[in-house]
Amino acid sequence: MRPVKAHKPDGTPTAKRLARVCVVLGPAGKKLPVAWLADLAEVPRSTLKNAASRDSLSYDVAWQIAGLFEDDRASTAEWLRKGTHRAPARPRMVSVGSSKTQSAGVITQRPDRAERLAGVAARAFALVVRAADRLEEGGGTKPGKRQLGDALLAFASELMRNEFVHTPALIAVAQRLIEGANPPDVATIAGAVYDVLAGSPRARTAEGRRDLALALTGLAKQLAEARFPRTHGLLDLARLLLHEESAIL
């Protein structure tokens, strides 16, 4: 008879540390899905899942996750791997041009719910753009950028219809993509998404978050139809927003 491996009901120490990271990254102390953490850190979901179950996190993966925080990166990576040093406590937002960010793009005060939501949405959108081969540096094609611009324009128009503010700036970014002249980079695109959500009072209401979820669903579907990869992060966010008790609300 094959021996039965001992089961740890509460998860491995690595799994517990990853869960704690998800809580810190989630708004209002709520927890993001571990799979989403993998997306944000740009590591394979299966890699993070295996690391949690085997209680073994590689330095490279820990370093990627540590980059999501303002805390000392080396110390955070060491804590993720071994539990030594202090746990991270200060999420790092995407580099954007918001008035509430420093020149380095880091929000110094603890972001409120709308700001945290905006940061997560901007990061998820940036992952889509970075993962699209057609938009990679030196290999971009005008059709790919036009498709991205079309999807972003439809998204911005839907937000404007639902009374989200700062949408004209997002529309301008979309138009630059469509026209192909002086196209914006990933940080500019993500920054425009961030500013719309962080600066709009509508994003702080339950109705506004439901409207945003529907707009994100439309955006993700349009990008998926255009064969853009990693749109699942946008769909995950939309699903979470539709549930009042979800991690992102």
Assign 3-class secondary structure to 170-202: HHHHHHHHHHCCCCCCHHHHHHHHHHHHHHCHH
With a cut of 50, say whether residue 24 has pLDDT above it: yes
Tell how far CA 137 is from the center of its chain.
21
**pLDDT tens digits, one per residue of 43-59:** 888 899 999 999 999 99
Please write the tens of the pLDDT for every residue from 81-94: 999 888 998 887 54
- Do 196 and 215 contact (CB within 8 A), yes or no? no
pTM exceeding the 0.85 threshold for the entire prediction: no
The percentage of the chain sitting over the pLDDT mark of 90, rounded to a whole number, equals: 35
Q: How far apart are CA 245 and CA 242, in angstroms?
A: 9
Distance CA 89, CA 216 (A): 28
Rounded-to-10 torsion of CA 113, 117, 120, 126: -140
